[in-house]
Every structure is written in structure tokens, then in C-alpha cells.
């Protein structure tokens, strides 16, 4: 912290709905935002989208992933978000749609932002769930429970599919 302009932090807080909240929450948002932009090199838009899926009432930390199995509910390509075995897509803010459960292991030292998924409305999987005739339902998105641990990996190519 300290190098990020206050205007950017204000945007992150606005996106997460945490303006005017305590310093502990702000510190978590800044840590996650800096990880997204500096380590993952996400665009400002993608950083804002990532931050809205995190429950900042829980710990947010950068960890080296232990050598074990992780799950990704994969669409068409390997993404940056992984979770622990045993969690449903709903627990990590996803509507299942046509996603498939795929197992991965880290290859060498893989670092990730470890955080808790927020209860959100998944409106990016909707095209895979709803018929295009049901546009109103699609625009509303699918509510998800959240509450599961998720990992935002900076280098998804260091996660080997098994």
C-alpha cells in the first residue's frame, strides 16, 4: 500500500460497495486491487470485476498454493480462478451453465490471492443458461450463494490439468 493513487482506491471501494467503511476492510480491498493490477496485470475494468466477487469481511491474503488438487469450473478456456475440491460453483459465485469441473495441480511455486467468494448475481454465465428468448431473466443474472474459498492465480499456465 502507499503507491496506489487515492482516486483508484476510491474506484475500488465504490465497485465493492465499501466506501466509508473501516480501515481493515479498506486495507483488504487495496491489497486485492494491487494484486490484481500489479501481479496479475489485469486491466482496471477486469480488476473492478474481480473485486466485486470478493467478500471483504473475510481475510484476503497472497499465498503460495500448497501442492494439492484444485478445481476450476471451466468454460471454454482455463481461467485464473480456482477453488478447493468439494465446493460447488454456487459457493464461488458461479452459475454452473455449461461449465465442467476440471482438476488442476500447481506446477512449482504458484502464488494466488486467497479470498472468500461473495454472494453475487452471476450475469456472465447467463448466455450459457438461458435461452435467448428469455432475455429478461438473463439480464437479471443467477443468484449465487458465495462463501467458498477461491484463489486468483497470477499465472494460470502454471496450473496443470490432471
Give 27-30 contacts, CB < 8 A, sequence gap 24+. Answer: 27/1, 28/56, 28/59, 28/60, 29/56, 30/1, 30/4
pLDDT of 136: 59
Residue 99 predicted with pLDDT over 90:
no
pLDDT of 120: 77
> What is the Cα–Cα distance from 135 to 39, expressed in whole angstroms?
37
Q: Give the mean model confidence (pLDDT) for residues 124-143.
A: 60
CB atoms within 10 A of CB 55: 19
Q: What is the pLDDT of residues 34-44, one digit of tens each?
A: 999 999 999 99
Coil/strand/helix, residue 122? strand
* Residue 115 grid coordinates: 479470498
Phi first, then psi: what are they for 55, rounded to 5°? Answer: -90, 105
pLDDT of 82: 96
pLDDT of 134: 58
Amino acid at each position: 500500500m502507499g503507491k496506489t493513487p487515492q482516486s483508484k482506491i476510491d474506484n475500488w471501494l465504490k465497485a465493492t460497495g465499501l466506501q466509508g467503511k473501516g480501515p481493515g476492510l479498506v486495507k483488504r480491498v487495496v491489497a486485492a486491487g494491487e494484486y490484481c493490477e500489479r501481479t496479475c496485470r489485469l486491466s482496471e475494468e477486469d480488476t473492478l470485476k474481480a473485486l466485486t466477487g470478493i467478500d471483504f469481511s473475510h481475510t484476503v491474503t497472497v499465498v503460495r498454493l500448497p501442492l494439492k488438487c484444485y478445481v476450476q469450473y471451466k468454460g471454454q478456456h482455463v481461467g485464473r480462478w480456482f477453488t478447493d475440491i468439494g465446493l460447488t460453483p454456487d459457493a464461488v459465485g458461479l452459475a454452473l451453465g455449461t461449465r465442467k469441473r476440471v482438476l488442476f495441480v500447481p506446477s512449482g511455486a504458484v502464488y494466488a490471492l486467497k479470498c472468500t467468494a461473495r454472494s453475487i448475481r452471476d450475469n456472465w454465465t447467463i448466455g450459457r443458461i438461458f435461452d435467448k428468448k428469455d432475455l429478461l431473466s438473463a439480464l437479471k443474472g443467477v443468484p449465487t450463494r458465495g462463501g467458498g474459498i477461491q484463489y486468483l492465480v497470477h499465472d494460470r499456465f502454471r496450473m496443470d490439468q490432471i
